[in-house]
Structure 1
Amino acid sequence: MDATQRPLVVPPRIGLYAEEKGLFRLMQIMLEGLMIHRPDDPIGFLIELLLLDNDDIPRILLLGPPASGKTTLAMWLSKHLSAPWLSQETLLDSDWSTLMASVREFQARKEEIPEDLWADLLEERLQLPDCLHNGWILEGFPETREQARSLQAAGIIPRHVVVLYAPDIVLLERNLGKRVDPMTGEVYHTTFDWPPDKALQARLVPAEGSSETATAQRLLAYHRNYYGTLLSFGAKMKLINADQPCADVLAQVLSHIEAPPASPAAFSLRILLCGPPGAGKSLQAALLAQKYGIVNVCCGQLIKEEVADGSKLGELMKPYLENGWPVADNMVLKLLSQRLSQWECHVRGWVLHGFPRDEDQARAMLHADIRPNRVFFLSISADTAVQRLSYRRVDPVTGERFHLVLRPASHKEVHERLRQHPRDAEEAVQLDVDRHQRLSGGLEAFFQGSIPTAVLNADQDPQTVFEYIESYLVRPPPLNPPGTLFQSMGRET
């Protein structure tokens, strides 16, 4: 890219590389780390951050009222994700921390441990190798807004916050039947999860604080602090009903935390519209360009403009147009690369129609790094295509276009002077439609393997078709998009 030349040309490969490698997300992670930790040596900090390569490890807060199943769920998640399971109890049971002396002093005086001390204790635990490389699952903490703010101030930012909920009467009944294995710490229940091993049954003991009075007091304290915690995490919170089998709760939690998150990267639409003549590609492209400010690139119009400008490439294309031949693919691709490499296309995005027409052209387009991130196939029957195009007329005086059925002229004198363009004759339209059906057979299957694709029924009101297209565009792209993001919508059956 040469910054001294105008118009500024940005090779498409630059944007594609940034999307494929997640450079925006990487920059976001590094800036977040600098703002949260404010290291004295920023360069060294960033190098260490990149060497960790732990962007995708789980960082989960598992919250909920007493007896909602947090402990059991945290244990299962820890085994499934191979991530350490942390809680206030596990933090206090170990002597690895240099802060344990301060904790013991508060315990000896039977005072509550301050929020800042909890945050420091947890921060020190998360710096151990198992958490750095495998992530962590923190159960039952924070319990208050003050504790949540202490974690955030210490730079402990979870990726997912799962909050379980259930009616209080259900929670009271559950807690009364809770039993704990004193040897392993695993939790069982007399009704829902009673172990078959007789020896294990014999050593189970009631869980501490499982009486009805103690549970009611804990529920009251939880409800009192719940909304403060809710305000601390906001949109990150995922509420899941705990009044169902544990396996179903686990499945919902895994579905949530394993779903690819939406990319926060600056996103430029690169839309490709395909379909037979008369499907409405030009109209939909104009509507998209008008509403979203993207560049409308009509391949046929682009070729005519290049020939009219008299450029070197235009002179090479001129004989093709004069003789009614299709322009050579390599010339079209060169022209498209020049147009789509301009700065406005890189920043604003683009919508392309009129190319490719077959699978070979599509393969050559991707090889030239012209890669759309949305592909729409507008589907209509051959009869509808012929009807739409063969009824078009042009006013030779004003140049305005009309349609004998969909948009007839309002005045008789205008109607009488309308003329049909030779390319809109029924025989010519039928030949174009037959050619499209013959050449475009493998085009849909080709794109569905690598690029988000949708097939729309275009034999309906144009505004309805546009709304279908728009419903796909407003979905942010996932960080790791699958081959076919969209399902067919509005397709004829």
Structure 2
Amino acid sequence: MTPITFSLATCESALASDLDSCYKRTANHLIAMDETAKPLRIPPEMAIYAEKHEIFDLVQTLVTNLMVDKPEDPIQYLIVLLKRGSVEVPRVMLLGPPASGKRTVARKLCEHTQVIHITDSNILKEDTDLTKKALQYKAKQQDIPGDLWIKLIQQRLSKIDCVRRGWVLEGIPQTREEALSLQEAGVAPNHVVLLEAPDAVLIERSQGKRIDPVTGDVYHVTFIWPEDKEVVQRLEHQKAVSEEQLVAQLMQHHREVHALRKTYRNCLKGIDADQPHVDVFDQVCCGELLEAVSADATNMGELIKPYLESGQQVPDSMVLQILTERLSRLDCTTRGWVLHGFPRDLEQAEKLQESNFIPSRVFFLEMTDDVAIERVTLRSIDPVTGERYHSLYKPAPSPEVQTRLQFNPKDSEAQLLQQLKEYWANASSLQDLYPEAVYINADQDPHTIFESLESRLVGRLQNDS
């Protein structure tokens, strides 16, 4: 067999034209070169060794990441990638309209996962030639040119802290044009979270905001109020935009959100922001636990992936293994945890207790089947604006919107009745297992339900202390 030789120029040309096809064409050969760029003859045995030990895949991954992220220090970047192995760091875009709670959720998410929080304001705090150029536009009260803004984002995300730990982009991108430019620049998220809420709720939320000048945390006199009296005393009024300005911003968001949905449809998760921020965060951070495990290149990930792809229920033994591993992490052991919708039956609850994960408080949200059917089966979404509607509680504002509304097949009455049947079949045994559980009437508005939960939880904590 005649050895194959490649020159540096040949390899670079192939990479530039089509990276994937380049690696496919050279899948049985190892590319090598000396510092003088003279082609080297490679024994066939080396290609066999490289194929056996997946060296081609490793090189493809390294070069792909290098070309996408374009780090300032490529050698250190590659060292970090090799040390990290196959674990993929979080790359999250957190999007949503004004007053949807992006800042609060982003801060909690970064605190929870130790990733880097990136906002438009802290991007401009970098001491680089690009930021100095951008600040000149800001000083003249001019918009930063789009190409310069994309370079600024790319520059920040290529720094070693983002490469090593991952990042959350808060409120970026805002338009489809910006999203496509980021894609062309190689900024590719593995998760996009879109917060959604009715305009009336967002307008109400925009009033009464307070900010902690020490931490930068945002609070609200109605929805989010700090428990620490020292924090309360130092809160400052946050300058609020007028209702006319907010309405204009919301209209701009509605014009762009459908295009953003299409751009990131393969990794997008929409979350209802019209609920307590704790619940929003739980859905952002914990709702994808099984999916995140399946995406991880581990034995457990490979085992549960077929169940998720086929829509089958993951076996309890696997769920418990994943769950107990997650609850054993430092953040859960020091700060506590909330399980939503788990355990579903007595066997799961007993296995959870056997693993020594015993809840300090259990809540049962109660409503009749008729109310559940009314809530679920009559809801729909406008695919153009992303706005959610309900035939009774929030009907479409016009016949034009009504005709384009879409219903989720999972919200059909037949599927819901099956879920209710399974729930009631297990409810009594779970109630017997948790005799001190608190029962909350869920046939109320969300804020009233949250206040009921919070008052009982706070009361329990005070009694325990």
Tell me the TM-score normalised to structure 2 length. Answer: 0.49
Larger relative contact order (CA 8 Å, sep ≥ 6): 1
Bigger CA radius of gyration: 1
Tell me the TM-score normalised to structure 1 length. Answer: 0.46
